[in-house]
Structures are given as structure tokens and as C-alpha cells.
Amino acid sequence: MPEHDSAIAWVINRAAERQLKKVAIAICDGLTPEAMETMAKKDLTLAQLLQQTRHTIPKVTVLTRPGVNHLTRMPDEDILRLLEEVVPANVAVLRHYPSFCRSVIRDLKAFAAG
């Protein structure tokens, strides 16, 4: 039975990660790395960034609690690696501004937790 549970957990975790990538793409749609860098220099939060770009805050996940838990427990570097797969130029900006990066990841995790 434990093997079955871990296979289910693996599937749930990958689905949550795919959903996070979709959200990152939606957030970064129309948000150039240059615009993001300007906002990072202003030390905006993710919510403020989305408001300034007139984006709505998309749902990070509509998955079960285990998927949400997986995302919220992930280390920041693992989140960045996932995001780098879909929005590498924006992640480069995040890496250049560590405080802004921590804030964005914290906000993403908060959105995931609902």
C-alpha cells in the first residue's frame, strides 16, 4: 500500500507543479523582464505587480490539499527551477533581486494555500 500512496503523491505533486507553471505563464504574459526589473527596484509585492500590470491573481491550484501542501513546502530554489522552465527571463530578474524574489515566492505560496 505505501508504494501505491507514494505513486499517488507523485502524480498529485507533478500536477501541482504543472499548475504553478501555468500560473507563472499567465502572470508573466505581457510582463517583460525589463518591466519586472523596474518593479523589483520599486520593491513591489506580487499583488502590487499584478495590479500595476492589470492582471488578476489567478488561482495557483484547484488541486487537493496534498498538492497545495507540496507547493507550499517546496524550497524557494526548487520553485525557481520550476519557473525557470517556463519563464526563464523573468526568473533571471528574480535571481538578480533576492529580496523581491523571496517576496514573489512567498506570495505565490500564499496564493497556493488559498
Q: Give the tens place of pLDDT for each residue, 3-58.
A: 556 888 899 899 889 888 888 888 888 788 998 898 889 888 887 877 776 766 65
Q: Which three cell numbers stand for residue 57?
A: 491573481
**Cα 25 to the center of its chain, rounded Å:** 9
* 3-class DSSP state of 8: helix
Contact by Cβ (8 Å): 104, 83: no
Let me know the angle formed at the C-alpha of 111 by 40 and 89, rounded to the nearest 5 degrees. 40
Q: Which three cell numbers stand for residue 76?
A: 524557494
- The Cα 26–Cα 18 span in angstroms is 12
Q: Residue ranges of the domains in the chain?
A: 2-113
